């Protein structure tokens, strides 16, 4: 599978050093060369993002756009046979992770956004350790856990953080969190802060 992820802290670097970059020559006639050249040149001409949120949006936008481009062009660009199921599964997971904060994220919304049927979506997760619903909830509790560990979010309540990751109820978030990690979110936060 072809995936390119650039850490968002790298996106703001204006003067790369050669030891910070890994490069591969891309033939000039390939479409991906055009995309990289124009996107990256426009990206580095933009003013620096003023905060983490804006920087994260740029990163997410680039990551989603590039993954979509590679999904459609991977065979011709890289000359590899790529399993469509694997590619579609990656696309679904990227969409879910990019939209976790939306409490309205549902199977129907995912199908509509990605142009696939419910049965196709369920089939993608057939060989995964989770079904799609469990995957969404697992991603949400994992994201909640990382927010609880972050010193940046210490001033926010468990309810606020639960809503940030797409739960519509903090009690539901607490139940799932305890099921996954064996401890309630409030107690987990206290343990993290005391260590």
pLDDT in tens, the chain (195 residues): 334 445 545 545 545 444 444 445 555 555 565 566 555 555 544 444 445 566 666 666 666 666 666 655 555 545 554 567 788 899 999 999 999 999 999 999 999 999 999 999 999 999 888 899 999 999 999 999 999 999 999 999 999 999 999 999 999 999 999 999 999 999 999 999 998
* Helix/strand/coil for 15: coil
Q: Where does a domain end: 114, 132, 150?
A: 132
Answer yes or no: do 157 and 187 share one domain.
Answer: yes
Answer yes or no: do 107 and 143 share one domain.
Answer: no
The answer to whether position 79 is within a domain reads no
> What pLDDT is stored for residue 87 in this prediction?
82
The answer to whether position 70 is within a domain reads no
CA 179 – CA 176 distance, rounded (Å): 5
> What pLDDT is stored for residue 130 in this prediction?
87
> What pLDDT is stored for residue 2 in this prediction?
36
Query: What are the phi and psi torsion angles at 96 (to 5°)?
Result: -60, -50
Q: Where does a domain end: 117, 132, 147?
A: 132
> What pLDDT is stored for residue 116 in this prediction?
92
Measured in Å, how far apart are the chain's first and last C-alpha atoms? Answer: 39
Answer yes or no: do 168 and 127 share one domain.
Answer: no
The answer to whether position 55 is within a domain reads no
Answer yes or no: do 90 and 110 share one domain.
Answer: yes
Answer yes or no: do 148 and 179 share one domain.
Answer: yes
The answer to whether position 28 is within a domain reads no
CA 101 – CA 140 distance, rounded (Å): 8
Answer yes or no: do 157 and 186 share one domain.
Answer: yes
The answer to whether position 44 is within a domain reads no
CA 100 – CA 56 distance, rounded (Å): 14
CA 123 – CA 127 distance, rounded (Å): 8
| CATH number reported for the structural domain that contains residue 97 in this entry | 1.10.10
The answer to whether position 5 is within a domain reads no
The answer to whether position 63 is within a domain reads no
> What pLDDT is stored for residue 56 in this prediction?
62
The answer to whether position 99 is within a domain reads yes
Please tell me the number of Cα atoms within 13 Å of 182 on its side-chain side: 1
How many domains are contained in the chain?
2
For 88-124, b/e burial (b = at least 16 CB within 10 A) is bbbbbbbbbeeebeeeebeeeebbeeeebeeeebeeb
Q: Which domain holds residue 121?
A: 84-132
Answer yes or no: do 126 and 146 share one domain.
Answer: no
| CATH number reported for the structural domain that contains residue 164 in this entry | 1.10.10.60
């Amino acid at each position: 599978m072809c995936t390119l992820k650039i850490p968002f802290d790298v996106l703001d670097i204006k003067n790369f050093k050669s030891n910070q970059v890994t490069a591969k020559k891309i033939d000039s006639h390939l479409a991906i060369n055009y995309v990289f050249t124009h996107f990256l040149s426009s990206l580095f001409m933009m003013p620096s993002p003023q905060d983490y949120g804006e920087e994260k949006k740029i990163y997410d936008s680039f990551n989603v756009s590039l993954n979509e481009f590679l999904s459609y062009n991977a065979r011709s660009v890289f000359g590899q046979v790529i399993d469509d199921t694997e590619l579609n599964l990656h696309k679904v997971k990227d969409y879910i992770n990019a939209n976790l904060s939306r409490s309205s994220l549902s199977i129907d919304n995912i199908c509509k956004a990605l142009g696939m049927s419910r049965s196709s979506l369920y089939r993608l997760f057939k060989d995964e350790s989770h079904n799609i619903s469990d995957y969404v909830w697992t991603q949400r509790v994992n994201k909640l856990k990382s927010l609880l560990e972050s010193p940046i979010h210490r001033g926010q309540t468990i309810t606020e953080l639960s809503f940030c990751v797409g739960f519509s109820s903090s009690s539901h978030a607490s139940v799932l969190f305890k099921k996954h990690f064996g401890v309630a979110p409030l107690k987990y936060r206290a343990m993290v802060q005391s260590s």
